[in-house]
Homo-oligomer: A and B are copies of this chain.
Amino acid sequence: MADLREMGRRASKEKQLLQRMPAEEKNRALCLAAERLEDRSEEILCANDRDMEKARQNGMSQGLQDRLKLTRERIGAMAEGLCQIAELPDCIGEIMEAFERPNGLKIEKVRVPMGVIGIIYEARPNVTADAFGLCFKTGNAVILKGGSDALESNKAVVKVIRDALQECGISGDVIQLIEDTDRKVTVEFMKLKEYVDLLIPRGSAGLIQSVIENSTIPVIETGTGNCHVYVDKDADLDMAVEIIYNAKTQRIGVCNACESLVIHRDVRDSLLPRLKKSLDVRRVELRGDERVREILTDIAAATEEDYGREYLDYILSLKTVDTAEEAIDHINRYNTKHSECIVTKNVETAEKFLNEVDAACVYWNASTRFTDGFEFGFGAEIGISTQKLHARGPMGLKELTSYKYLVRGTGQVRT
């Protein structure tokens, strides 16, 4: 804990300077960090090799090994990411509102950094550079706790970035990495409220749950997506098949992929055979309710548990409903408030669905896969928030900021 507090103190010390740092200075540092990541990629790859060697010895799954593995190309992508962040506009100092009170007080609401942001993530070394870039651009110091399987890679990436910052005359303490892999230290980090203003977990549902249960620091919950597509009785069925195919199979391991279909009984007979043919191409396993299985006789039954699951796999559950209301109720019961879609030509039904489904992003005739900071045009993304406090849906740079009120008077006192 003593070490953690020392890290917190160091990060806090940089807050004031970071808050006033001119955009050009931040952008120059981001670009130099990008350049140095490429210059020193050999060093990073060597460190990554050590992580990979240990991962193989420990029998890490192929999927996780793939996320841990760095290549010259992937380091290039990390560098490119930092350059892109440098090109985005700086929102710090923006006057969000300005008003004058009858007593003459002039009040300005000004955008400021959060201060110190903590990021807890899994064994994905690319998150290290990405999280630094987003936090630094918005004037925040960052303390990182990455998955212990990626420790050597993360240490190497952080060292290169810190050196680059120092080349620019900026303290390396604006990015710090917790190197202690003891789980107790991670839990203590979640309670470092005196120094850390915001904690963002990025990773599996288990990681996020642990942060929510243990943290005394304000948290933004990201990630879990049990997303639905509802095919209404008035749907264009060609469009429905295309949207479902895209939302389910374009990338299966992501939070905005479709996990469950809700189908109006009137389109059941014509939709299901075409849909099955389309999804068979990617060998998607279907699990349906009784009415679905009257048409698709050889698929498994969907249980209650299926409706609540984020498969992150080539599996899709199907539910038949009698009305759009029933579809909305079903979705509001099982969803994780992430992304939901209706396919219909009926404006009224669409507007009802848009308004009544409780989710960060509700789509009418478009794939749920668009829930993404880049697809929304934010130019960056730290994650997808599934909570309602502070930020909802794709989080870009502005979502890493707070505000303060500046009040200018001429001696006013309260009576």
Which single member of B16, B366, B377, B389 contacts A218 (CB below 8 Å)?
A: B389
Q: A219 — which chain B residues lie within 8 A by C-beta?
A: 218
Task: Verify if A67 is at the interface (C-beta below 8 Å from B).
Answer: no
Judge whether B392 and A390 touch: CB under 8 Å: no
Q: Do B388 and A389 touch (CB < 8 A)?
A: no
Cβ A407 vs Cβ B360 within 8 A: no
Given A405-B360, A409-B363, A409-B364; A220-B370 close (CB under 8 Å): no
Q: How far is the CB of A381 from chain B (nearest CB, A)?
A: 14
User: A267 near B: Cβ within 8 Å?
Assistant: no
Size range of the chain A interface in the assembly: 35 or more
Interface string of A206-222 (1 = CB under 8 A from B): 00000011001011110
Choose from B350, B356, B402 the contact partner of A388 (Cβ within 8 Å).
B402
A123-160 vs B, CB cutoff 8 Å, 1 = contact: the mask equals: 00000000000000000000000000000000000000
Q: Which residues of B contact A363 (CB under 8 A)?
A: 407-409
Contacts A250-B414, A414-B246; is A366 near B402 (CB within 8 Å)? no
Query: Which of A35-43, A236-244, A269-277 is the interface stretch?
Result: A236-244
Cβ–Cβ contact A356 & B16, under 8 A: yes
B residues less than 8 Å from A414 (CB atoms): 246, 250, 367, 369-370, 375
The answer to the question of A183 belonging to the interface, with a C-beta cut-off of 8 Å to chain B, is: no
CA–CA, A350 to B161, complex, Å?
35
Which chain B residue has the least Cβ–Cβ distance from A332? B16
Smallest distance from the beta carbon of A382 to chain B beta carbons, Å?
Answer: 14
Roughly how many angstroms separate A171 CA and B412 CA in the complex, as a whole number?
46
Question: Cα distance A15–B354 when bound, in Å?
Answer: 15
A358 near B15: Cβ-Cβ < 8 Å: yes
**Contacting residues of chain A (88-103) with chain B, CB-CB under 8 angstroms:** 99, 101
A250 to B369, CA, bound (A): 56
Distance between Cα atoms of A410 and B344 in the complex (Å): 10
Which of these, B355, B369, B377, B408, contacts A365 with CB under 8 Å? B408
Within the complex, the shortest CB–CB distance from A308 to chain B, in Å, comes to: 12
Q: A239 CA to B362 CA in the complex, in Å?
A: 54
A296 CB-CB contact with B under 8 Å:
no
User: 12 pairs across A/B with beta carbons < 8 Å?
Assistant: A15-B358, A115-B388, A220-B389, A239-B411, A246-B414, A360-B404, A360-B405, A364-B407, A364-B409, A366-B410, A370-B407, A375-B414
Chain A interface residues (CB < 8 Å from chain B): 15-16, 19-20, 99, 101, 105, 107, 114-115, 193, 197-198, 212-213, 216, 218-221, 236, 239, 242-243, 245-247, 250, 332, 350, 354-356, 358-367, 369-370, 375-377, 387-390, 392-393, 402-415
